Structure formats: structure tokens, C-alpha cells
Amino acid sequence: QVHLQESGPGLLKPSETLSLNCIVSGASITSDYWSWIRQSPGKGLEWIGHIHYSGTTNYNPSLTGRVTISVDTSRKQFSLTLTSVTAADTALYFCAKLGSRGFDEFDPWGPGTLVTVSS
Amino acid sequence: QSVLTQPPSVSGAPGQRVTISCTGTSSNIGSGYDVQWYQVLPGTAPKLLMYGYTNRPSGVPDRFSGSKSGTSASLAITGLQAEDEADYYCQSYDSGLSGSVFGGGTKVTVL
């Protein structure tokens, strides 16, 4: 059974860089795609981007220029970096596996990690 | 504003049937891209409820069903139960954005 677990600092100041990791267990990271998704307080879900184990990435155009997703196959983890954060980046951040059934589905998801941006 | 449009809320009494619509455009649902549905219970991560419009992952009750019509998709819950009270999101791929898009979410209330 595949499990994902996010980790990273929960509190950032404006203009700082957000860095989160997602550790994958129960499956090989060298298969399919791996994604980051967030949910701002009181709002819906927003796809951030995804990465293939080969390193190919795809990002939400609204975040292009600030976002980077990378993968470390030896550590079985993938990471999210978001630069120049503002209060608008305050959200619950999830990592998820993409497309294991051959559709564009996200499954499973990690439990999520809350990131707050505040001065 | 979300790319996919869902009603903010629906409600029903226990045992009743409710449906949640998800309206897209020609660059996502209308182009034939699959629709998925997720259930979000308070304080928990989203759970895949339906994929490829009509396919239920193992463990999802058959009270949940999905359908497609043109540029829209729908999720139906028959025999509504108290445990179904949650937020539901639809999701698809958008060729204009070259990525995944979500609906704004629908809160289901069991009266």
C-alpha cells in the first residue's frame, strides 16, 4: 500500500522560500508522476505541479517562475520549492501520486502539512 | 474562480438522492478528458471517490455513481447517509493550462 508523508516548516515570513518534502513508501518512486496540490483556508483545491521520476515537470501557469519540483530517487522523496512567498501562499499542502490507474487521478494523498506565511 | 464550476452546496435527507454537477469547457471536459471526484471529510486529506467518470476505487460504496454529458459531469449519491456529509471536488485535465484543474467544491449536508 502506497503511503505519502509531507514534511517541512510550518511558518514562514513574507518573501521567504517554502521548501517541502514528500516521502514515498510502499511503492517505487521510479514510476508514474508525483504531484503537489494545495488548499488555501476556506478555498478549494489548487494543482501546483507534478514531476516524473525522469525529472520532467509541469507547473501551474499561475505559479511559473516561483515553483520548482524535484525528485530524489535514492531517498524515495520528491520536493516542492516556492520562492517569494506571500500571505496568499498560506495553505494546506498535499503531495499525491498521479495517474497510477492510467487516468489523471490523484491517489493516494499524503495527510497534508499546513504552511502559514505571516510577518 | 475555479476552471470547473460546481454548486457551492447541496443537501438532502437521509436515504434521499443528491447530485453534484461539474461544468467545464471545451478545453477540459468538452475535449474528452476524464473527470475524477474526491471526498474531503473535515480534517482529512482528499479521498479519490471516482475516476474516469464512472469508475469506483475499491472500497467506495456503490451508492456513489458518476456520469458525463457534454461538457459536464455529475456525481450522484443515492441512499444518502450521515457519513456522506463532506466536501466534494471534481477534477480534470485542461489543455489550455496543460495541467490539472479542480472545481470549487460542493458541500453536501445531510439534513
Chain A nearest CA to B67, separation (Å): 16
Q: What is the mean pLDDT of residues A3-21?
A: 96
Q: Which of A64, A103, A113, A114 to mutate to test the interface with B (most CBs of B within 10 A)?
A: A103
pLDDT in tens, A46-89: 999 999 988 899 999 999 899 999 999 999 999 999 999 999 99
Report CB contact under 8 Å: B101, A58.
no
Q: What is the percentage of chain A residues whose pLDDT exceeds 90?
A: 82
For chain A, the three-class secondary structure string (H helix, E strand, C coil) is CCEEEEECCCEECCCCCEEEEEEEECCCCCCCEEEEEEECCCCCEEEEEEEECCCCEEECCCCCCCEEEEEEHHHCEEEEEECCCCHHHCEEEEEEEECCCCCCCEEEECCCEEEEECC
Position with higher pLDDT, A47 vs A101: A47
- For B46-57, the pLDDT digits (tens) are 999 999 999 999
Residue A103 has pLDDT above 90, yes or no: no
Question: Looking at CA atoms only, how far is residue A46 from chain B in angstroms?
Answer: 7
pLDDT at B56: 96
Q: Is the pLDDT of residue B42 over 90?
A: no
Estimate the share of chain B in helix, then strand, then coil, as percent rounded to the nearest 5: 5, 50, 45
B61 confidence band (pLDDT: 50, 70, 90): very high
Residue B43 has pLDDT above 90, yes or no: no
Categorise residue A66: left if φ over 0, alpha if ψ from -120 to 50, beta otherwise. Answer: alpha
A-B CB pairs within 8 A amount to 70
Task: Please tell me the predicted confidence (pLDDT) of residue A32.
Answer: 83
pLDDT score for B108: 97
pLDDT for A42 beyond 90: no
Q: Is the peptide bond before A108 cis (omega within 30 degrees of 0)?
A: yes
pLDDT for the residue A31: 81
All three cell numbers of B40, joined, read: 474531503
Q: Judge whether A104 is closer than 8 Å to chain B, CB to CB.
A: yes
Rounded to the nearest angstrom, the minimum Cα separation between B79 and chain A is 26
What's the confidence (pLDDT) of residue A61?
Answer: 93
Across chain A, mean pLDDT equals: 94
- Write out pLDDT tens, residues B2-34: 889 999 999 999 999 999 999 999 999 999 999
Residues of A in contact with B52 (CB under 8 A): 101, 103, 105
CB–CB contact B102 A46 (8 Å): yes
- Quick: pLDDT tens for A91-100: 999 999 998 8
